[in-house]
Structure 1
Amino acid sequence: MPENGWSADRIDTKNPHPARVYDYILGGKDYYPPDREAGDAMVEVWPAIVPHMLENRKFMHRATRYLAQEVGIRQFVDIGTGIPTRPNVHEVAQSIAPDARVVYVDNDPIVLTLSAGLSSSTPEGRTEYIEADMRDPAAILESPQFRETIDLGQPVGLTIIAIVHLIMDEDDPVGIVRRLLDPLPSGSYLAMSIGTADFAPEEVGRVNAEYTARGMPMRLRDRTEAQGYFEGLELVDPGITQVHRWRPDDAVDPEVRDEQIAMYGAVARKP
């Protein structure tokens, strides 16, 4: 594991963490034995979790490119960043607009430990990192990093990728997203991916059970529930769809079947 001086006791190495399991399954190197064990168990019960996670990552890239290139967004807030895996949001955005600014948010200390991978900004742009839990939007919005980087007089791209399935109903995930959106000006955008069991209920149910048994409970949501995150917003075509079907770069990969993808994705404009 990389070392950068942060106290090791801040990182829970005894229990798996979703961000590190995700990193392991995607072929990364920043994980611990419990994360590897959890990842192996997920792949065993649902081998499609590998293309599922890859397609979710590709969706994030396409959504960021759309916002930077086609809409002209120049500042982004990325919630639930996870282990830095290139290209990250700022690398995609700054490849189009070198002056783009990005604030990353995550609550796992290992992401902060590895945040050098999130700070390789162009000279014209800027990146900042906030260690915070998305269940506390005020901690994000009132942080010095947010206030110094994000101009609330200009549209913002809010990206919340593959995280709300880890927020239980009692924590009101729709309300959390709304509180993050509320201070953003008209013309801002929300890009989200939302875990679902709609397309492979039995297989994804087994993954859910494995996550829950390892202390990482999930709440998967159907399409109607996914729509709740976008109420009052203007959905960008093609609306809410599986992530591999949201504006694919070419034709949808024929080797990727719908039942392999357990994530809805959408991008919407705040009027």
Structure 2
Amino acid sequence: MRRMDDLAPLFQDIAFNERFRGYDVAEVDAYIDRVARAAALVQGRIAELQRRAEAAEAHATGSSGADPVETGEESLTKMLLLAQRTADAAIDEAQAEAAEIRRQADDHASLVVAEAETDRRRMLAEAEAAVEESVRTERERVVAEVAELERYRAFLTDDIAMLEQHLEQARDALGASAAALQHLLDDPEQFRLPTMPATSGVVAPADVGTPKEMVAEPVVIEAVGSSDPAPEPAPESEITQAIDVVTIADEAVSDGAAETALVDEEPEAAVDPPLESAPQPN
């Protein structure tokens, strides 16, 4: 028959490992099962002691010697009371320890859940703040790019308007030049110079010295032979035609300037010979 001291190891050196910030549920359940088995064992011991006490009492009733029976009965009664107290204390201690473990586990679980909820809210707030910051930065970048493109478009619009105005002015100027040149080509008599007037033929006085320079030979000015304007080439565009007209005008102006220079030189050719060939007065 087992002794009461065999129950002591069941209630000593109890340790639980922590897992996920709490006690292992399986170990707690195993410990409760051990306590339950210990309580059942104590109850069995108590029942056995009760049976022994009843047997001893019955045996004492049938026997004649009262002193040994009374001594054995008292011993069994003490053992029974001690076992009952030990069992009650073990059960109460196991229940209290189990309740404390369950309470601590619940508190720890609540703390873990609260911390997890706090972490979740913090991470969610950080993620939302990061998304808002990214959206704000991207919006500012897009707005800046749009503003820059709007500024470039304004510059290009101003440039286009300025170029269109310049083109219109150039077109008007070329049109006016073309009209003037066409008028000159339609009336070539405007290119003719007036006839040279006759000189008086007077001889310079003897006391007027003339530089000994070579006198230019007289140049005969020929009038423009034909009055019909040269045929114009077929213009490829308005600008090409205007350029051709300006070229013809430049040539006409150059020819007119050359004829004017010849006319200016002709009076010098008509001057009488130098005074060196004239007779000297006495």
TM superposition score category, shorter chain reference? under 0.3
**Structure in which a larger fraction of residues adopt strand:** 1
Bigger CA radius of gyration: 2
User: TM-score, structure 1 length as denominator?
Assistant: 0.16
Tell which has more relative contact order, 1 or 2 (C-alpha 8 A, sep 6+).
1
**Structure in which a larger fraction of residues adopt helix:** 2
User: TM-score, structure 2 length as denominator?
Assistant: 0.16
